[in-house]
């Protein structure tokens, strides 16, 4: 029995009419037009025919095939158009919606204090200098009258890269670097990051200092007191309590530490000032003749003072923050307040 192309065409068109999804159409296409599909098996039957019958049968199979192809292509392209239209509708932009607000960044409180300190000292005629954070033991300690076996090295335990190279423990390391390169008179501040093996509510392993020093003929301790008092009054206001306390640093003689009235408790005593009512913010003193010797300055001709302040301590006092570690946690809720 020879199959009928007309009947096959009718069946195919019926199936296509019921199909709505692309997969269904493709399945029907494979069923009729595929290499092993219905049309292919009809064509195989050509071999059993001869003469006019063969020609007519061949023509009608080809007509059926062309018609199915046309229908399939038409359907597929209609489905594609529909999908495109649906996608466009789905992704429609409402250009009348209000835009998203851009979040404005703020300067970190440590940067703000750093800038403020730099502004005050620039106004007093100080230049800004910088030194490396990965520093030689020589500049961090030895040139500052802290030889290898000096017990005061314990106060600034640090992170060593090698026997001779370390993360600097204070910005005082910039002093001998600048003095080696320049001759007095000098009025310098050196802001920067420093590192120590420290961690509690008023100490972090990484923090910031600003070093300051002045070297000239006839620089005295009263110059040091005058400049620091003026600076602290500018920073904290004229009424802020300040006290100078005798202290010890191997690179200054005499030495002092400067405290400020604790602003967290107004001096009544709290966990930040450890009950004392005062918070230490800087170390200072007259530059030791041994330091001048290591940079080949004549200690008979020149004198100088130096000081080093802790920026986070100042930020704590200015903004009333009771835990120094908050500065480095990068909690956006904390930072937004400044």
- 1-39 in b/e form (b: 16+ CB < 10 A) is eeeebeebbebbeebbeebeeeeebeebbebbbeeebbb
Closest contact distance (angstroms) between CB of 215 and ligand FA5 is 12
Which of residues 57 and 195 has its CB atom nearest to ligand FA5 in the complex? 195
Q: Does 196 bind ligand FA5 (CB under 6 A)?
A: yes
Q: Does 250 bind ligand FA5 (CB under 6 A)?
A: no
Q: Does 252 bind ligand FA5 (CB under 6 A)?
A: yes
Helix (H) or strand (E) holding 134: strand 134-136
- And the tokens for 23? 């997969």
Asked whether the beta carbons of 139 and 164 are under 8 A apart, the reply is no
Which of residues 54 and 182 has its CB atom nearest to ligand FA5 in the complex? 182
Q: Name the residue number minimizing CB distance to ligand FA5.
A: 310
Closest contact distance (angstroms) between CB of 257 and ligand FA5 is 7
Q: Which of 140, 145, 158, 204 binds ligand FA5 (CB under 6 A)?
A: 204
Q: Does 295 bind ligand FA5 (CB under 6 A)?
A: no
Q: How far apart are CA 176 and CA 72, in angstroms?
A: 87
Q: How far apart are CA 78 and CA 82, in angstroms?
A: 6
Choices 73-81, 185-193, 216-224, 309-317; region in contact with ligand FA5 by CB under 6 A: 309-317
Asked whether the beta carbons of 39 and 64 are under 8 A apart, the reply is yes
Q: Which of 312, 317, 321, 326 binds ligand FA5 (CB under 6 A)?
A: 312
Query: Could you give the dihedral angle defined by the CA atoms of residues 69, 74, 75 and 78, in that order, rounded to the nearest 10 degrees?
Result: 160
Choices 121-129, 183-191, 198-206, 328-336; region in contact with ligand FA5 by CB under 6 A: 198-206
Q: How far apart are CA 91 and CA 251, in angstroms?
A: 70
Which of residues 5 and 191 has its CB atom nearest to ligand FA5 in the complex? 191
Q: Can you give the binding site for ligand FA5, defined by CB under 6 A?
A: 170, 172, 196, 198, 203-204, 207, 209, 211, 249, 252, 280-285, 306-308, 310, 312-313, 324
């Amino acid at each position: 029995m020879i199959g009928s192309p007309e009947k096959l065409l009718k069946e195919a068109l019926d199936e296509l009419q019921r199909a709505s999804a692309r997969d269904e159409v493709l399945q029907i296409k494979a069923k009729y037009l595929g290499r092993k599909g219905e049309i292919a098996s009809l064509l195989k039957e050509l071999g059993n025919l001869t003469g006019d019958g063969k020609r007519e049968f061949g023509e009608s199979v080809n007509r059926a095939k062309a018609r199915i192809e046309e229908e399939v292509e038409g359907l597929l392209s209609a489905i594609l158009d529909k999908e495109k239209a649906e996608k466009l509708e789905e992704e429609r932009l409402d250009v009348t919606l209000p835009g998203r607000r851009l979040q404005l960044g703020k300067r970190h409180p440590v940067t703000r204090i750093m800038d403020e300190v730099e502004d005050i000292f620039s106004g007093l005629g100080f230049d800004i200098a910088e030194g490396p954070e990965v520093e030689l033991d020589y500049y961090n300690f030895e040139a500052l009258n802290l030889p290898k076996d000096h017990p005061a090295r314990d106060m600034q335990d640090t992170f060593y890269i090698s026997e001779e190279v370390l993360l600097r423990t204070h910005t005082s390391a910039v002093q001998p670097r600048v003095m080696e390169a320049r001759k007095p008179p000098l009025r310098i501040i050196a802001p920067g990051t420093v590192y120590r093996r420290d961690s509690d509510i008023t100490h972090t392993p990484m923090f910031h200092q600003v070093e300051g020093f002045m070297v000239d003929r006839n620089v005295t301790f009263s110059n040091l007191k005058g400049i620091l008092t003026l600076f602290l009054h500018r920073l904290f206001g004229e009424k802020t309590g300040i006290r100078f306390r005798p202290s010890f640093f191997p690179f200054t003689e005499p030495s002092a530490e400067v405290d400020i009235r604790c602003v967290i408790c107004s001096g009544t005593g709290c966990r930040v000032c450890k009950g004392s009512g005062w918070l230490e913010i800087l170390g200072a003193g007259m530059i030791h003749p041994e330091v001048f010797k290591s940079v080949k300055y004549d200690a008979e001709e020149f004198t100088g003072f130096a000081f080093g302040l802790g920026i986070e301590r100042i930020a704590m006092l200015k903004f009333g923050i009771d835990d120094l570690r908050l500065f480095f946690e990068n909690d956006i809720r904390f930072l937004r307040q400044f």
